[in-house]
C-alpha cells in the first residue's frame, strides 16, 4: 500500500459515500481482503456489494471527489434500501434468560401449549439453551431460553414489554393457566381503545405474555413488544436497516401511548415487532433478562453495512461463529435493542 499524506484539507468518503474530512488519502492494491481500490476516498466492500464496481469507484475518486465530498449519498442509500427490501428475512427466535430451565419448560408446555423443540447443554461455557414454540424452527418463530449455571434471577427492567400469543379462546386459556397455578395479571376483556379480547399472564420468571383472541393462525407466537423513546426514529430505522414494513400504527391519546406494528408480513400470519412509545418517556431500564431477537438474512455482510449506513451500531462484525460455520452479525438499534442476523443457509444447516 502506498500512502499519500494530505497537506491541508483531507477529504475521504465512507464506503457508502458519506463525506468526511480527516485521516489519510491512500492507494490500495486489489490484494486487500475485498479487492477495493481507494484513491482520494474509499470505495470499500459496501460499494461493490450495493452496485459500484472497482472501476466505477476509481473513476469517481479521480473525477468527482469534490462533489462527493459535499456529501452526496443518494445512490448508495438507494442501492442499500433496494437490497434490504429484497433480502429474504424472517424473525427466527427471541432470546432471553431464565432462572430455572425445567420449571419454565414445564410452564410453557403445560400452560401455553408449546412444544420443546430441542435442548442443548454447553458445560464448558456453563449455560443451557432450550428452544420452544408451536412449530419447527425452519418455518416458525420460536423462543430460545438461556439458563446460566448458578443464576436463578434476573432483572427484566422497564423497557421490555411482553410476548404475544394468539389463542382461539382467551377465557379458556386463562382458566387453564389458573388451574396450573399460573399468574393472571389482567383478566380477559377488550383491549384499551379497541375491540380485541386479550388477557395478560406472567411466567415463573415474571415475563409477561399477552393472550390475543384470534382465529387459527400459522404463527401463534405472534408478537414481541419493546418500548422505545422516539417512535418515528425507530420506525424509520426498522424500515431502512431491517427491511421491515410498518403494518399499522395506532395512537391512544386517552392512555398516552402510541404503538407501531413492524414485520415481514401480515400480523395474522407472521410474528411481528410491536414498538410502544409512552408520551414523554425517552429512556428505559433494560435490565439483564431479555437478550435479543434473531432474524434470518441471505448476507450478514451486506446487512451489517446497511445497519451502519442507517444509524445502527454493529456490536459484532459479520463472520462465522467460533467452532461452527454459522455466519452472524449483531447490532443495536437507536434505542439500544440488540438484534442478531443469521445467515439463512447456515441456520438451516445448523438445524440438521
Give catalytic residue positions: 210
**CA–CA distance, 340 with 316 (Å, rounded to integer):** 9
**CA–CA distance, 306 with 240 (Å, rounded to integer):** 8
Please, how many CA atoms are within 13 Å of residue 42, restricted to the half-sphere of its CB?
Answer: 19
Which residue in this structure is represented by grid cell 492494491?
29
Pairing of strands 142-148, 90-97: parallel
- CB under 8 Å to 137, separation ≥6 — which residues? 92, 93, 117, 118, 131, 351
**CA–CA distance, 224 with 289 (Å, rounded to integer):** 14
- The DSSP call for residue 56 is H
| Nearest one of 12, 47, 10, 43 to 28, comparing CA atoms | 43
Amino acid at each position: 500500500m502506498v500512502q499519500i499524506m494530505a497537506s491541508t484539507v483531507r477529504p475521504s468518503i465512507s464506503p457508502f459515500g458519506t463525506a468526511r474530512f480527516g485521516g489519510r488519502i491512500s492507494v490500495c492494491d486489489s490484494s486487500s481482503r475485498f479487492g477495493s481500490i481507494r484513491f482520494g476516498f474509499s470505495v470499500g466492500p459496501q460499494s461493490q456489494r450495493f452496485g459500484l464496481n472497482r472501476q466505477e469507484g476509481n473513476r469517481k475518486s479521480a473525477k468527482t471527489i469534490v462533489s462527493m465530498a459535499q456529501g452526496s449519498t443518494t445512490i448508495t442509500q438507494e442501492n442499500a434500501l433496494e437490497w434490504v427490501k429484497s433480502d429474504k428475512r424472517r424473525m427466527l427466535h427471541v432470546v432471553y434468560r431464565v432462572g430455572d430451565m425445567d420449571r419454565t419448560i414445564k410452564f410453557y408446555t403445560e400452560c401455553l401449549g408449546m412444544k420443546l423443540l430441542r435442548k442443548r447443554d454447553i458445560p464448558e461455557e456453563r449455560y443451557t439453551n432450550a428452544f420452544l414454540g408451536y412449530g419447527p424452527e425452519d418455518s416458525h418463530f420460536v423462543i430460545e431460553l438461556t439458563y446460566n449455571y448458578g443464576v436463578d434471577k434476573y432483572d427484566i427492567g422497564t423497557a421490555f414489554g411482553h410476548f404475544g400469543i394468539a389463542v382461539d379462546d382467551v377465557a379458556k386459556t386463562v382458566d387453564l393457566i389458573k388451574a396450573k397455578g399460573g399468574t393472571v395479571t389482567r383478566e380477559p376483556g377488550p383491549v384499551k381503545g379497541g375491540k380485541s379480547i386479550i388477557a395478560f399472564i406472567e411466567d415463573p420468571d415474571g415475563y409477561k405474555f399477552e393472550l390475543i383472541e384470534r382465529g387459527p393462525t400459522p404463527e401463534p407466537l405472534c408478537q414481541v413488544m419493546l418500548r422505545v423513546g422516539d417512535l418515528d426514529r425507530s420506525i424509520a430505522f426498522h424500515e431502512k436497516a431491517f427491511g421491515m414494513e410498518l403494518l399499522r400504527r395506532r395512537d391512544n391519546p386517552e392512555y398516552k401511548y402510541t404503538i407501531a406494528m413492524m414485520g415481514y408480513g401480515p400480523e395474522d400470519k407472521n410474528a411481528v415487532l410491536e414498538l410502544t412509545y409512552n408520551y414523554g418517556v425517552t429512556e428505559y431500564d433494560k435490565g439483564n433478562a431479555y437478550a435479543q431477537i434473531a432474524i434470518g438474512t441471505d448476507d450478514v455482510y451486506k446487512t451489517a453495512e446497511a445497519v451502519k449506513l442507517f444509524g445502527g451500531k454493529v456490536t459484532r462484525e459479520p463472520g462465522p461463529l467460533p467452532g461452527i460455520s454459522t455466519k452472524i452479525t449483531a447490532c443495536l438499534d437507536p434505542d439500544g435493542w440488540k438484534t442478531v442476523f443469521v445467515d439463512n443457509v447456515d441456520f438451516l444447516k445448523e438445524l440438521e
